[in-house]
Structure 1
Amino acid sequence: MPDLLVIDGLRAGYGEAVVLPSMSLTLREGEVLALLGRNGTGKTTLINSIVGLTRRFGGTLALGGVDITAMRPDQRARAGIGWVPQERNIFRSLTVEENMTAVARPGPLTVEKIYRMFPRLRERRHHFGNQLSGGEQQMLAIGRALTLNPRVLLLDEPTEGLAPIIVEELLRALGAITRTGGICAIIVEQNAQKILGLADRVVILERGAIVHDAASLTLKVDPAVLERYLGVSGAAAHQG
């Protein structure tokens, strides 16, 4: 499969601070990448840099062969970058259905298809965003990002603080979308073991640099890597 997202020598951060000294990373169509690392290693900065929210000091980003380096965040969204931040950023004064139809773009991922993925959202489609539980808000945030019909989906701590049964539902839906829709995804996750079953590949960051990049299967059979870089025995990888 061809590379869908190509990051080449990206140097980025905030203000005068460089968090990512030289990041190079590629993702293929349909590939799910788990982004792990201790606190403050640059995971969220990498996500924000793909969205276009950081200061770029150098390097390039391309999506589907198109250079998006100079694009604003709204232009990147239209080009195919879907983003679900930790804060979720749903429209709390709009209903579930209004949240999704307000941003929906033409494509195979329709609001109706999102309802089939997340039946809870259909049941609550007339509820306002501020009337939803944390898990329902996260489903809505993901559903809303998907109605943009993105080519790349970025999720920053999508399961944080959610009940295990909701986490299972979210991961099942994400797996179905990436497997059938050709979307590639980068998922920042606290709990390494939780995400290994969904991810094809795992990248671990330290000080804004990649220190491990391998198939997720290798971490399942050899958790020593998690212990070395994350200080956990396959249980919880810390957010950063």
Structure 2
Amino acid sequence: MSDLLCIENLRAGYGQAVVLPSMSLRLPESQVLALLGRNGTGKTTLINSIVGVTRRFGGSVTLGGRDITGMRPDQRARAGIGWVPQERNIFKSLTVEENMTAVAQPGPWTVAKVYEMFPRLKERRNNFGNQLSGGEQQMLAIGRALTLNPQVLLLDEPTEGLAPIIVEELLRALGTITRSGGICSIIVEQNAQKILGLADRVVILERGTIVHDAASSALKADPAVLERFLGVSGAAAH
């Protein structure tokens, strides 16, 4: 299986601050990667660097064999980078449907298919973004990223601050997305146990560097790794 996303010796950060000293990471098609680590270890910076909103000091990012290093964030989105940031960034003054049709690109993920996955969005298709609950806004942010028909889907703490019943719904949806094939995903999540069942592979960051990279099943079998790197006893990684 060939690698879909290749990050080579990426050195990135903000202003003069280097957060990722030399990041190298490869993701094959259809792989779901859980990105774990304590707060401030560089998880969001890595996501932001793939999107293209950090300052790059060196290194490269390649998507499907195409060098996207020099591209602006909007160009990267069109090239196949789907992004669901922590802030969600939905268009509050557009309806649910307009949010998705505004960015839609041809491909298997249509607005109708998003509605199948999130019936709640279909019910609220004519509601404006600012009329949605937090959970509905998160569903819309994911749906909007999918209608771009990305090759890579980046989700930064998609379940944060949401009610448990909504979290279950979102995780089920993410399972559907990942099983549909073709897309590789990186999910930043504070709660390790929540995401281990969904991910194929787990990478743990410390000080902008990968300190653990293994199959999700191996991490489930060895909870001592979570204790060592995340300070948790296998229950939650806060």
Partner of 2:21: 21
Q: Residue 24 of structure 2 aligns to which amino acid in structure 1?
A: S
Q: Does 1:123 align with 2:123?
A: yes
Equivalent residue for 1:86?
86
Structure 1 ranges of 4+ moved more than 2 A: none
2:50 matched residue in structure 1: 50
Cα separation, 2, equivalents of 1:226 and 1:204: 9
Structure 1 counterpart of 2:145, one-letter code = A
- 1:52 Cα deviation from its structure 2 partner: 0.2
Q: 1:2: which partner in 2?
A: 2
Deviation, 1:178, is 1.4
Q: Distance in 2 between matches of 1:65 and 1:99?
A: 30
1:208 aligns with 2:204: no
Deviation at 1:90, TM superposition (A): 0.5
Aligned partners of 1:169, 1:137: CA distance in 2, in Å? 13
Question: Residue 100 of structure 1 aligns with which residue?
Answer: 100
CA–CA distance in 1 between the matches of 2:7 and 2:220? 27
The AA in structure 1 aligned to 2:167 is: V
Distance 2:225 2:201 in 1: 14
Once structures 1 and 2 are overlaid, which stretch shifts more, 206-215 or 168-177? 168-177
Query: Which residue of the partner structure matches residue 136 of structure 2?
Result: 136
- Deviation string for 1:26-64 (max 9, x for gaps)? 001000000000010000000000000011111111000
TM-superposed deviation, 1:237? 1.8
Q: Counterparts of 2:181 and 2:108 in 1: how far apart (Å)?
A: 8
Tell me the CA shift for residue 176 of structure 1. Answer: 1.1
Q: Please state how far the C-alpha of 1:181 moved relative to its aligned partner.
A: 3.1
Q: Distance in 2 between matches of 1:234 and 1:122?
A: 37
**Which residue of structure 1 lines up, in the alignment, with residue 235 of structure 2?**
235
Give the aligned length.
Answer: 238
In structure 1, runs of 5+ residues without a counterpart are none
Instruction: State whether structure 2 residue 208 is matched by structure 1 residue 191.
Output: no
- Equivalent residues of 2:34, 2:195 under 8 A apart: yes
Gapped regions of structure 2 (runs ≥ 5) = none
Asked if residue 218 in structure 1 is aligned to residue 218 in structure 2, the reply is yes
**2: CA distance, partners of 1:108 / 1:151:** 12
Instruction: Determine what percentage of the aligned residue pairs are the same residue.
Output: 86
The aligned counterpart of 1:12 is: 12
Per-residue Cα deviation, 1:164-214 (whole angstroms, up to 9, x for no partner)? 111111111111111113100000001000000000000000000000000
Counterparts of 2:87 and 2:102 in 1: how far apart (Å)? 19
Task: Give the secondary structure class of the aligned counterpart of 1:49.
Answer: helix
Kindly report the root-mean-square deviation, in angstroms, between the aligned alpha carbons of the 2 structures.
0.7
Letter matched to residue 135 of structure 1: G
Distance 1:54 1:21 in 2: 13
Report deviation, 1:7: 0.3
Equivalent AA in structure 2 for residue 192 of structure 1: A
Cα distance in structure 2, aligned partners of 1:236 and 1:161: 14
The residue identity in structure 2 corresponding to 1:102 is A
Equivalents in 1 of 2:94, 2:70: separation in Å? Answer: 32
